[in-house]
Amino acid sequence: MGRLAELDLPPLVARAVVGLYTGAYRVDLSEAEAPAVAYPSFDAFFTRPLRPGARPCHAPPGAVVSPADGRLDALGRIAQAGLVPVKGREYRVAELCGDEVAAERYHGGELAVVYLSPRDYHRVHAPVGGRVRVVRSLPGDFYPVNAIGERHVPRLLARNRRVAAVIELEGGGELTLVMVAAMIVGRITLAPFAERDVPLGEHRLEPPFALERGAELGVFHLGSTVVLLQTPGAAPLVRALGPIRVGDPLTESVARQADGG
């Protein structure tokens, strides 16, 4: 499926494929950087960048913002035992981030989950400014991360292929951003890596990869879900669940200010 998605298509075929997909999933291409006729492959269409300025960020400095377009599915406190509830399922932080020892730093912190549907923009941006020092690329399955998968696959987010980027915050503390792959291709690219998929294993970046809030961090090649894990001591994540876009603040008070409330 990956080879098919990346296959160069004749312009007429590419236009037809994009048209069918856009119609089936009601994809809004008005903010795309390139017109529909410019995509040489389905992967190029699916990973399409947006035009500059399409996702302005009005949150104050230091605030955590959404890393992706989609639906904010869960917010919650990470228990001192390292357990978090996500849509009726209980997960261990260590399963999500891929390291038992590192997971202990997040006990008592915060969690957020953003689900990307097939119609959404599938590039992932930095929710905070900081430095990426550690990346863990974890093997796993490629179950669909939708209502069917959630209903029938126990521990779905911890069983699928994942890439976890640990961001050292500018003001202290850490935030781990976990990209969870889904069915069909499930490939993930990340800004610090030149490879077409992040190599499996733990990678320590020297020097660390500097990151500004809002900068592009990774791309889902047919995926899925972003999980944010935040260490204790930072402002709680308390935004209302529902639709969200890149750059929207993830704290209730900040969200009200941004909306003029």
Q: Are 14 and 40 in contact (CB under 8 A)?
A: yes
* Candidates 73, 122, 221, 224; catalytic one: 224
DSSP track, 154-204: TTHHHHB-EEEEEEEETTSSEEEEEEEE-SS--EEEETT--SSSPPSEEEE
Q: Are 254 and 60 in contact (CB under 8 A)?
A: yes
Quote the tokens at residue 175: 């935030």
* Candidates 122, 125, 203, 221; catalytic one: 125
For the question of residue 43 being annotated catalytic, the response is no
For the question of residue 203 being annotated catalytic, the response is no
SS3 state at 15: helix
Q: Are 59 and 72 in contact (CB under 8 A)?
A: no
* Candidates 69, 99, 197, 248; catalytic one: 69
For the question of residue 122 being annotated catalytic, the response is no
- Catalytic machinery residues: 69, 125, 224
